[in-house]
């Protein structure tokens, strides 16, 4: 049974939820959302704050149907969805309030991958391991994320300066030395997060 909620509480909740999601977006760690069921409303807003989203095939639907309650996706949905898939398509999805299949979510660019039902979490973890040492230089992964997140709304020149700054920091790392050595020696690199 739904009951009336104090509007001050709603504002307080959204404010703190947005702060938490901003922290999720701004951590240098790669964040992957594993979607193992319906992902609508606030659940999708949390998933949109992740860097990548992977869903389990036939596990549910996805969407931002808040308009059907007379409100908007107020925990970052209006901002993150439009940045992810474009303004016009995001507005359409939100004003219709429709929910749709994970396959359509992938076609729209909301989901990165759809994995099979069997061993879903094990498959997600295996997918995530490719971005960690020894497979990838985790400092480079973090700096890529930081450059994209911070540079997204900057003028191009400022974004390029931010990219150069992050690149310079990486050139000084042990992993960069290993990466270049491995390239020259025609062998796979073994990164150590240093």
List the catalytic residues: 45, 66
Cβ atoms within 10 Å, residue 29: 13
Region of 9 on the Ramachandran plot (φ > 0 left; ψ -120 to 50 alpha; else beta): alpha
128, 138, 101: which is closest to 34 by C-alpha?
A: 128
Q: Do the beta carbons of residue 176 and residue 137 sit within 8 Å?
A: yes
CA angle 107, 111, 112 (to 5 degrees): 95
Beta-carbon contacts of 55 under 8 Å, excluding residues fewer than 6 positions away, are 35, 36, 39, 62, 102, 105, 106, 111, 113, 114, 115
DSSP, collapsed to helix, strand or coil, labels residue 44 as helix
């Amino acid at each position: 049974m739904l009951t009336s909620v104090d509007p001050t509480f709603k504002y307080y909740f959204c404010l703190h939820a947005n702060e938490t999601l901003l922290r999720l977006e701004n951590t240098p760690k790669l964040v992957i959302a594993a979607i193992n069921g319906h992902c609508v409303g606030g659940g999708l807003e949390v998933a949109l704050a992740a860097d990548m989203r992977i869903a389990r095939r036939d596990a549910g639907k996805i969407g931002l149907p808040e308009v059907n309650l007379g409100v908007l996706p107020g925990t970052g949905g209006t901002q993150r969805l439009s940045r992810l898939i474009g303004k016009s398509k995001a507005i359409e999805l939100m004003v219709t309030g429709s929910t749709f299949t994970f396959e359509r979510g992938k076609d729209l660019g909301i989901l990165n991958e759809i994995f099979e039902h069997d061993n879903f979490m094990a498959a997600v973890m295996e997918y995530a391991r490719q971005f960690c040492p020894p497979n990838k230089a985790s400092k480079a992964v973090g700096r890529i994320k930081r450059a994209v997140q911070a540079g997204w709304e900057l003028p191009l020149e400022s974004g390029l300066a931010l990219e150069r700054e992050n690149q310079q920091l990486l050139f000084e790392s042990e992993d960069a030395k290993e990466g270049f050595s491995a390239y020259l020696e025609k062998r796979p690199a073994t990164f150590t997060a240093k």
